């Protein structure tokens, strides 16, 4: 968890730049099929309160309604995958790779392991959850 400094980040082209004014969780690795299709592999994200996320630049930010309950934020210029949030929710998942370094974060666990692709082997000792993680 990062509580000290303010984390910042953005996509590859700079069309989206954000900062997080508050706590960020450690990084969760989601192996579900929706995350695979939009990220190309595993969705690595840290969450923060929705109202802690502020934009310095968002001219290329677009939101895609990826399911009944959620939408995903991405850059329409460079294709960078940036955010996931539940519709009407108060938490935003921020893709960990878009955070400026160092992040001070650590990997936390794997989720939706039951729906991962056949090539997707896990070779670390982090906790694995078949679906969503229990509250932590």
Which parts of this chain interact with Zn ion (CB under 5 A)? 11, 13, 15, 30, 32, 35, 43, 75, 77-78, 80
Nearer to Zn ion, 19 or 104 (CB): 19
Distance (Å, rounded) from C-alpha 7 to C-alpha 99?
A: 7
Nearer to Zn ion, 38 or 103 (CB): 38
Nearer to Zn ion, 11 or 94 (CB): 11
Rg (CA), the chain: 14
**Minimal distance, residue 6 CB to Zn ion, in Å:** 21
The DSSP code sequence of 62-85 is EEEE-SSSEEEEEETTT--EEEEE
């Amino acid at each position: 968890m990062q509580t000290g400094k303010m984390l910042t980040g953005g996509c590859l082209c700079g069309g989206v730049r954000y900062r997080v004014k508050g706590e960020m969780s450690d990084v969760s690795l989601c192996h579900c099929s929706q995350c695979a299709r939009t990220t190309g592999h595993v969705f690595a994200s840290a969450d923060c309160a929705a109202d802690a996320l502020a934009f310095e630049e968002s001219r290329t930010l677009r939101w895609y309604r990826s399911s009944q309950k959620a939408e995903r934020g991405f850059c329409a210029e460079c294709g960078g995958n940036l955010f996931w949030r539940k519709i009407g929710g108060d938490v935003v998942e921020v893709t960990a790779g878009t955070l400026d370094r160092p992040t001070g974060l650590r990997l936390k666990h794997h989720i939706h392991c039951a729906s991962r692709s056949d090539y997707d082997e896990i070779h670390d000792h982090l906790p694995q959850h078949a679906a969503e993680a229990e509250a932590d």
